[in-house]
Structure 1
Amino acid sequence: MSSNERVEQPIKFAYWVPNVSGGLVISKIPQRTSWDLDYNIKLAQIAERAGFEYALSQIRFTAGYGADNQHEPVSFSQALLAATERLKLIAALLPGPWNPAVAAKQIATISHLSNARVAVNIVSGWFRGEFAAIGEPWLDHDERYRRSEEFIRALRGIWTEESFTFRGDFYRFNNYSLKPKPLAPLPEIFQGGSSRAARDMASRVSDWYFTNGNSVDGIKKQVDDIQAKAAANRHSVKIGVNAFSIARKTEKEAQEVLAEILKHADPEAVKGFHHEVQNAGNASPEREGNWAKSTFEDLVQYNDGFKTNLIGTPQQIAERILALKQVGVNLILLGFLHFQEEVEHFGKHVIPLVRELEAAKKPVRAYA
């Protein structure tokens, strides 16, 4: 797909499934968000009506940083798929705990149960303590991405080849035949990361690349780098960006909500998260991985969502989304403070403005 074709396509919207307790901020501010199934089923149905196309179920194995409880993402995604009709669920998978043969079979079955509405997000790993807790070896930064790339190649091979053979450093298959295959279209493969290894992997094997929140200029540099490499590899990859949205009638109101989130931040939890993710981000050879340059305030939202600055009036947010689209972003992955109410509000007041701006086809000035 050319850059012009990417710009012409309507930008897509996804939300973080709160299948992990504590919401999407490391803050003790009151939140009307719950991690239980009933809340999430209603949320998924609201999101589907609101114009969201995807929902991403999170992967966590152990408590920490304000997340004391965690539902497993594959089975949780299946429950949400059963309660919806159009929404696509992206289930996070962590190589190491998951074997690609098991994952391929799980997802193929869910593809049949959901009429091909399941996708996967391959998480290379950032939480070293979690790996230690469950007895999984902790690989060096770039080794984790090498393993993830083999995992993706194995998934795609199992799903597409009648008899799959693979000889990798981490996974091996001998004439493996999976039946039934997933329904068409095949489950999309997402991955995250901001490091050179993450971008290079995306340019070779992934359908979608998720990056942490950032400014338009920061996102543009990543997009340009990935797309140039993907073109050289004769590969096509789309871009998703993390953001935390606070849409209010006035910019002042929205900024006041942000200030309250930061005011009630849990200092010990944020510092612990900061230590863990800075180790992960700085572990890349170029020291440019996720969170490598994140401040305390940035990390109150797990994936630098405040940096994307979708905080203000619906019009401001819509214009900022268009500015991201114009530098090559295809999808916005959103977190909210009060999910059910704010997803519905976003669908009523922001998405229609985005569609109007897309239809007008007028350049939107990037924001600071």
Structure 2
Amino acid sequence: MSQIKREPVKFAYWVPNVSGGLVISNIEQRTSWDIDYNRKLAQIAEANGFDYALSQIRFTAGYGADNQHESVSFSHALLAATTKLKVIAALLPGPWNPALAAKQIATINHLTNGRVAVNIVSGWFRGEFAAIGEHWLDHDERYRRSEEFIRALRGIWTEDSFTFKGDFYRFNEYSMKPKPIDPLPEIFQGGSSRAARDMAARVSDWYFTNGNTPAEIRKQVDDIRAKAVANGHSVKIGVNAFAIARDTEAEARTVLDEIIAKANPEAVQGFADQVKNAGKASPEGEGNWAKSSFEDLVQYNDGFRSNLIGTPEQIAERVIDLKNAGADLILLGFLHFQEEVEFFGKHVIPLVRKLEEAETVTAVAAE
């Protein structure tokens, strides 16, 4: 009966508001970080079955990302160009204060009929914090600050006189109006560490994890959801993946091989040094990227590990495997975004829906 009640898996794409695409490789990428390209991409995604788009937050250059558009204003531009797509704006505690973030997002919420969401990024790039003069906190302290940030957002959005006495943020009888329209903006967060999972189990609506096998995803899902139930909370799961959908598996694997063969070793290693330090800095040494190989890190968020590489039929079956492992959303990166988002929407998503329908029929028949 549990399968009957499950909603269809949702699909999101990474917004390329940062230059360099979604792989640290010198392979040709017909993807642009400019607004005209991204407006059209958002419209293509909306027309082809995508539910969400996730904008990135970067303040400094590095690893091929020489140019970066700010996430909140860029997200608003994409929302203005669409009518149904939800856009998740990344926010980084430190540069953002929750009072500013709450006001920004509440305003965009009203202007877009409630289609804006937020992704709270706890931070992994120490050099970026140093460059902009932000204090660098220890691993678990970053997640404590993010949890206070989320609690502050919700309090500001729901209470007429919000008072909060935290270690990082303080509010005294603060009243912000107008409040967001119902339902409140969804709050996403990422991470794989113990601190990230525990935070999700207490306060977040959605938890993003790096790409991985269904078996490894299931371990995280079971852990988070058991703790969420104990906290009287519920949380949905998003899984990162890099999709290479081609007419044959051989074609798709050839593209993957070329991406890795043309990887920029110095840039990948520089990225690896930063993110592995971040991952290993957690007390248990199990944060994002702690066990990532060179090949995994060519795609920023271990997207190759999810194995959505092959024919539309193969990819659809693997999406269902991820869903059955507990994923509620698949967050996708592509090599050539506009054409590949359209291809994925036309050729993969309909197959996923057929497989979901078949599983529902099977479950009903078994009752």
Same structural fold, with TM-score higher than 0.5 when normalized by the shorter chain: yes
Matches within 5 A, 1:212-361: 212-361=210-359
Q: Does 1:44 align with 2:42?
A: yes
Q: Please give the alpha-carbon distance, in whole angstroms, between the structure 1 residues aligned to 2:2 and 2:64.
A: 42
| Map of 1:170 onto structure 2 | 168
What is the CA deviation profile of residues 16-46 of structure 1, one whole-angstrom value per residue up to 9, with x for unaligned ones?
Answer: 0000000000001001000000000000000
- Once the two structures are superposed, what CA deviation does each residue of 1:100-135 show, in whole Å capped at 9, x if it has no partner? 000000000000110000000000000000000000
- Root-mean-square deviation (CA, aligned residues, Å) is 1.2
Q: Where do residues 180-191 of structure 1 align in structure 2 (5 Å cutoff)?
A: 180-191=178-189
Q: How far off is 1:4 after superposition?
A: 2.1
CA drift of 1:65 comes to: 0.5
Instruction: Write the deviation string for residues 146-170 of structure 1: whole angstroms up to 9, x where unpaired.
Output: 0000000000000000110000000
Gaps of 5+ in 2: 363-367
Q: 1:110-149, aligned counterparts within 5 Å?
A: 110-149=108-147
Partner of 1:57: 55
Q: Is the 8 A contact 2:3 2:359 kept in 1?
A: no
| Distance (whole Å) between structure 1 residues aligned to residue 3 and residue 309 of structure 2 | 28
Q: Please point out which of 10, 23, 37 is paired with 1:12.
A: 10
Instruction: Output the amino acid matched with 2:199.
Output: M
8 Å CA contact 1:90–1:119 kept in 2: the answer is yes
Deviation at 1:6, TM superposition (A): 8.7
**Unaligned stretches of 5+ residues in structure 1:** 364-368
Please give the secondary structure, in 2, of the residue aligned with 1:89.
Answer: strand
Give, in angstroms, the shift of residue 7 of structure 1: 6.1
* Matched positions, count: 362
Identity of aligned residues (%): 80
Q: 1:52-89 CA deviation, whole Å, 9 max, x = no partner?
A: 01000000000001100000000000000000000000
Partner Cα separation in structure 2 for residue 258 and residue 130 of structure 1: 30
1:32 aligned onto 2:36: no
Q: Aligned to 2:195, which of 181, 194, 197?
A: 197
- CA deviation map 1:320-365 (0-9, x unaligned): 00011112110000000000000000000000000000000178xx
Paired position in structure 1 for 2:100: 102
Which residue identity is paired with 2:296?
A: D
Q: Which amino acid aligns with 2:23?
A: V
Change (3 A) 1:23 1:6: farther
Cα distance, 1:44–1:33 mapped onto 2, change above 3 Å: same
Amino acid at match of 2:20: G
The C-alpha deviation readout for 1:251-310, integer Å capped at 9, x for no partner, is 111000000000110010000000000000000000000000000000000000000000
- Cα distance in 1 for partners of 2:106, 2:4 equals 28
- Secondary structure at the aligned position of 1:126 is classed as coil
Which residue identity does 1:49 align to in structure 2? A
State the SS of the aligned residue for 2:243.
Answer: strand
The one-letter code matched in structure 2 to 1:275 is: D
Q: Contact conserved, 2:12 with 2:52, CA < 8 A, in 1? A: yes
What's the CA shift for 1:231?
Answer: 0.5
- CA distance in 1 between partners of 2:327 and 2:260 (Å): 28
Check conservation: 1:6, 1:330, Cα contact below 8 A. Answer: no
Task: Give CA-to-partner distance per residue, 1:181-228, whole Å, 9 cap, x none.
Answer: 111111000000000000000000000000000011110000000000
